[in-house]
């Protein structure tokens, strides 16, 4: 449910950024797994390196997802501000129209 709302509020550029971030994280993860396999073949004490990699990957994921949520919130705020401005303009236009109509009736 949240993902659908989040996806609909993202701009095209933000969706591209999200896909790019996903790809970067995936590539980094694959590179880490390769390093870990090489490390295990040479040194059986690679647990610290694995833990550091998982921590880095988790941090990257959390940062990217936080940025995506911030973008959604910003877009929703922009949409609300835009709707308020539009409502004000419509109200002003209606008032001007009513004034013109009243003026033409008096003439």
Range from 1-5, 32-36, 40-44, 63-67 carrying the lowest mean pLDDT: 1-5
- Give the three-class secondary structure for 75: helix
The tokens describing 63, both together, are 């940062």
Higher pLDDT, 65 or 97: 65
- Where b means 16+ CB within 10 Å and e means fewer, 40-71 reads eeeeeebeeeeeebeeeeeeeeeebeeebeeb
Q: What is the pLDDT of residue 99?
A: 79
What is the average per-residue pLDDT within 14-22? 90
**pLDDT above 70: residue 7:** no
Phi then psi for residue 50, to 5 deg, are -60, -45
**pLDDT above 60: residue 4:** no
Helix axes 47-106, 12-42, angle to 10 degrees: 180
Q: Can you give the pTM of this predicted structure?
A: 0.53
**In the chain, where the domains are located:** 2-106
The predicted-structure confidence for 43-53, as pLDDT tens digits, reads as follows 777 888 888 89
The predicted-structure confidence for 24-42, as pLDDT tens digits, reads as follows 999 999 999 998 888 877 7
């Amino acid at each position: 449910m949240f993902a659908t709302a989040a996806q609909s509020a993202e701009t095209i550029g933000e969706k591209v950024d999200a896909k790019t971030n996903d790809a970067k994280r995936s590539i980094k993860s694959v590179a880490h797994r390769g390093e870990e396999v090489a490390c295990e073949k040479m040194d059986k004490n690679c647990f610290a390196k694995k833990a550091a990699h998982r921590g880095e990957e988790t941090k990257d994921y959390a940062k990217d997802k936080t940025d995506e949520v911030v973008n959604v919130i910003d877009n929703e705020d922009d949409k609300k501000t835009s709707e308020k401005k539009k409502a004000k303009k419509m109200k002003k236009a209606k008032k001007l129209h009513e004034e013109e109509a009243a003026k033409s009736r008096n003439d």
